[in-house]
Amino acid sequence: MEKTLQQKLIDAANEARKHAYVPYSGYKVGAALLTRSGEIVTGCNIENSSYTPTVCAERVAIFKAVSEGVVDFVALAVVTDNGGSPCGVCRQVMGEFMLEGTVLIADKDGNLLEEMSVNELLPRAFTPKHLGH
């Protein structure tokens, strides 16, 4: 992936962080998802006092795109203060839609810290093929 496109995704994810609703943890996360058609779909984490309904930025971006009829993704940038990695639930959702896709992990200053495939993040992923689909 071109460095300019990587930075565009990281910048979009960093901008999405500004909308995070995190009154409990204070840990803002932004995500920017690149579709096969070149569209960028963003998301931020949204907490809830009951914790279980809390949703991560990565899933917000993916579900937002899917709800708009887009299911073909190339890359996802995730930006946190310190370059935190996607949680297991987000990895599973990424595995559903973009197992061969690229994940960019960056910090709030826009520094790319890691680049890997979803398959590397979630080895031996449980996917639709395991259900016979």
What positions carry a catalytic annotation? 58
Nearest to 98 by CA among 35, 53, 17: 35
Q: How far is CA 21 from CA 43, 68, 71, 82, 127, in A?
A: 11, 22, 26, 18, 30
Q: Beta strands 73-80 and 102-107: pairing type?
A: parallel
Alpha-carbon span 28 to 89, nearest angstrom: 17
